[in-house]
Structure 1
Amino acid sequence: MSDTIRPGETLLPFDPGDRIEAGLSFVGVIRSDWSRGDCPRNIARARETGRPARIELRPGYAAALEGLETGQAIIVIGWLHGARRDLARQVPRHAGGPRGTFALRSPVRPNPLSLSVCRITWMERAAGQLGLDAIDLFDRTPVVDLKPWLPGADIPPEAHPG
């Protein structure tokens, strides 16, 4: 983790890691080809590479896959364990100026959670493994949770039919 900041960036006046108010239990780990320096910046770019990935659940979580099916879209929530947590305002290279952390999909955030919508390509329920069409996370990134992507719920309100 680097402590350097770019001109225009603002540090938080505290370390969010010192304000732990909840506990997490990782449910699994990502297995991908990605590491620091070569990981796509988002899921769309990861998908363009054609490189699949998989999730290996920790022992005891295999039964939680019941109801999921191959071909289904899911939301993968990861814990970006190597990411900085201390910036309130960032200056991304792709933007025209500073933006608040909550206005960005940057991995630098008070709680370094990632969110990727992926498609299940295969499942071995008994082994607690599922294949993903793509992922934009480093190999061995901890998985916090999986949720089904629901077409009626996971769209902005203005796009909702009716």
Structure 2
Amino acid sequence: MAERREGEIALPFDPAERAEAGLCFIGRIRSPWVKGTAPKNIGAARDIEHTSSLELDPVYAPALAGLSVGQAVQVLYWVDRGERELIVQSPAHAEGPRGTFSLRSPVRPNPIALATVVITGIEGATVGIDAIDAYDGTPLLDIKPWIASVDVRPGWRGDG
């Protein structure tokens, strides 16, 4: 269990022990990051020159049909080395504690992360991407196309 900051609250149980659904990892994220070296978020990852990719199990390669270089996609991945029980966090960048669901922190009951990335190449079952903040070997859950007309309401700024 990690050291807690003032105001943080943890669940009295491990959410992994209450699993109700089965997941199938479709591959792994390949990046240069390991614990202690990963950028803080996807924005920071874009500021660091690096090579990253999505390495799918070859059986899923046909599912890449229709994707293209330069296209934005949403990548869902399983933060397998993250904590799960913390539901109120005290992030260093914020004043005071905040609920986990108001943060992009990888610490959450279901450690599912989302990054919108740009495809830089596709070769077989490997998809090159412009950046990622995940550790090397992180399990990949899904890839979905980012579609402006669907994913962003026209005229909506999204900054509150």
| 1:3 Cα deviation from its structure 2 partner | 3.6
Identity of aligned residues (%): 50
Q: TM-score, normalised by structure 2?
A: 0.94
- In the alignment, the residues of structure 2 paired with residue 107 and residue 55 of structure 1 have an alpha-carbon distance, to the nearest angstrom, of 19
Equivalent in the alignment of 2:142: 145
Equivalent in the alignment of 2:34: 35
Instruction: Classify the secondary structure of the residue corresponding to 1:145.
Output: strand
Letter in 1 for 2:73: I
- In the alignment, the residues of structure 2 paired with residue 100 and residue 130 of structure 1 have an alpha-carbon distance, to the nearest angstrom, of 34
1:29-50: CA deviations, max 9, x gaps?
0110111101011111101112
- In the alignment, the residues of structure 1 paired with residue 153 and residue 39 of structure 2 have an alpha-carbon distance, to the nearest angstrom, of 25
- Which structure 1 residue ranges, 5 or more long, are not aligned? none
Give every structure 1 segment of 4 or more consecutive aligned residues whose post-TM-superposition deviation is greater than 4 Å: none
Q: How does 1:8-47 map to 2 (within 5 A)?
A: 8-47=7-46
- In the alignment, the residues of structure 1 paired with residue 13 and residue 94 of structure 2 have an alpha-carbon distance, to the nearest angstrom, of 26
Q: How does 1:93-112 map to 2 (within 5 A)?
A: 93-112=92-111
Letter in 2 for 1:61: Y
Q: TM-score, normalised by structure 1?
A: 0.92
- Which structure 2 residue ranges, 5 or more long, are not aligned? none
Equivalent in the alignment of 2:79: 80
- In the alignment, the residues of structure 1 paired with residue 96 and residue 10 of structure 2 have an alpha-carbon distance, to the nearest angstrom, of 16
Number of residue pairs matched by the alignment: 157
